[in-house]
Amino acid sequence: MDKKLKILVVDDEDALRFSLASILEMEGFEVKTAEDGFKAVEMAEKESFDILFSDIRMPGRTGTETFKLIKKIRPDIIGVMMTAYALNDLIVEALNLGAFTCLSKPFEIGTVLSTIKDVTSRPFAVVVDNEANIDSNFLNSLKHSGLNVATTDMDMSKIDFMFKHKPDILILSIDNDAEISLSILEKLKEMTGSIPKTILVGSEENAGILERFQKIGTVSFIKTPICIPQVFDILGQENRKYNIAMINANSDEFISLRASLLEKKFNLIPYNNFQSFFDEIKYCFFDTVLINTKIETNISDFHDKLQRLMPNIGAIYILQDEANVEALKKKGCFYLTKPFEIDDIISLINKIRK
């Protein structure tokens, strides 16, 4: 982003709110503050912000609730949560809603600045879809894979932010009205002189329209249903982050592990149980799966199913005890037993990456 970033800081703790705002202003950002979630939502209704820094535990309305409401008003806002407490459920919910990360208080200003640098250096993608043809799980996967993602329908009056922010990537659904999609690209080129890298998404019978779009600029076509590898085959793998799914992610051990992995710049996709993971697996792309196993889990059956659905995935099992070690050894799996060291997890992830 080449414009001056606007940041909204929300915290009921006066000292932190004022000090963080002052430091960010000295760093050249435009900063507004709110003492609670109610005021923050009111402010978001009146003006746009690029980044939201919000405390999670606030009276009346939590930071997670605040982020959810503001996200509906400003779909392109980037959320960063802050907390001094082990609020596992709220942290998990915020991350599942698309928050970029959660910072643990107290934090160094260097951590805040590196977080801002990370989120703003990601390619900005706008998804335009009139009838929700593009699955919401797919949109979340795009975010987890390293893109800043905003969504809108095809009402021209509602996509002004797209022209203002000059997206790097445009994903257009063409199944309902290809002519409107065409006019969007023509207007964008007229206003900016060019169009971003564009992916048309639609059913196979609409593939023939591609030639008309390519007269405007660089346009590719993906037929539905779409998946993450197809998108990054077009965008380039250098734009994609390393994706890690975490199953049974709301345990104390995994909350602290998630914070450490986020610091290492991995993308984390948390799932509270095995079923929710398998429900979304067809929409998502993972490099590694971290499984926090439970005593009653049949690990062999799970691993066999995982290999059928994602044969090239790297799986790391965090075991409750030594009971399943022999079974995993026979299958050639990576595993650790509790208690584990975070450095051991990082080491196994790096082995899989090679």
| CATH assignment at residue 14 | 3.40.50.2300
In degrees, rounded to 5, the angle at the alpha carbon of residue 174 between the alpha carbons of residues 168 and 176 is 140
pLDDT of residue 18: 94
Question: Would residue 46 count as lying in a domain?
Answer: yes
Same domain, 274 and 261: yes
Lowest average pLDDT, out of 20-34, 168-182, 282-296, goes to 282-296
pLDDT of res. 2: 45
Q: Which of 20-24, 47-51, 207-211 has the lowest mean pLDDT?
A: 207-211
Q: What's the confidence (pLDDT) of residue 42?
A: 95
CB 265, CB 241: distance < 8 Å: yes
- Among 30-44, 58-72, 170-184, 253-267, the range with the most confident prediction by mean pLDDT is 30-44
pLDDT band at 1; cut points 50, 70, 90: very low
Pick the closest to residue 259 from 47, 119, 55, 115 (CA basis).
Answer: 115
Query: Tokens 């959320």 appear where?
Result: 79
Confidence of residue 24 (pLDDT cuts 50, 70, 90): very high
Task: List the one residue out of 252, 193, 241 whose CA is nearest residue 353.
Answer: 241
The pLDDT tens digits for 212-252 are 888 888 888 888 777 777 888 887 776 667 788 888 766 66
**Model confidence at 29, in pLDDT bands (50, 70, 90)?**
very high
Asked if pLDDT for residue 295 goes beyond 70, the answer is no
Domain enclosing residue 136, as ranges = 124-238
Residue 88 lies in a domain: yes
For the segment 6-29, the average pLDDT, to the nearest whole number, is 93
Per the domain annotation, does 1 fall within a domain? no
More confident residue, 87 or 336: 336
Is 347 or 240 the better-scoring residue by pLDDT?
Answer: 347
Statement to judge: residues 232 and 250 lie in one domain: no
Asked if 133 and 169 sit in the same domain, the reply is yes
Q: What is the pLDDT of residue 89?
A: 65
Alpha helix (H) residue ranges in 97-203: 109-121, 136-144, 160-165, 178-192
Residue 144 pLDDT class (50, 70, 90 cuts): low
Task: DSSP letter for 35, please.
Answer: S
Q: Which residue has the higher pLDDT, 109 or 144?
A: 109
Say how far apart CA 244 and CA 266 lie, in whole Å.
7
Which of 215, 238, 261 is a domain's end point?
238
Q: pLDDT averaged over the chain?
A: 80
Q: What is the pLDDT of residue 227?
A: 74
Confidence category of residue 39, pLDDT binned at 50, 70, 90: very high
Instruction: Point out the domain boundary residue: 238, 269, 295.
Output: 238
Same domain as 227, residue 265: no
Share of the chain above pLDDT 70, in %: 85
Confidence bin at 162 (pLDDT 50/70/90): low
Please identify, among 98, 121, 144, the residue that sits at the C-terminal boundary of a domain.
121
How many helices and strands in the chain, by DSSP H and E?
Answer: 15, 15
Q: pLDDT tens across 186-223, in order?
A: 887 887 788 888 888 888 877 778 888 888 888 888 88
Asked if 133 and 121 touch (Cβ cutoff 8 Å), the reply is no
Residues 93 and 152 in one domain: no
Distances, alpha carbon 337 to alpha carbons 302, 315, 317, in Å? 18, 14, 8
Q: What is the mean pLDDT of residues 115-128?
A: 79
**12 compared with 152, residue with greater pLDDT:** 12
- Confirm if 223 and 204 have CB atoms less than 8 A apart: yes
Among candidate residues 150, 154, 177, 178, the one with its CA nearest the CA of residue 164: 150
Q: How far apart are CA 263 and CA 187, in angstroms?
A: 40
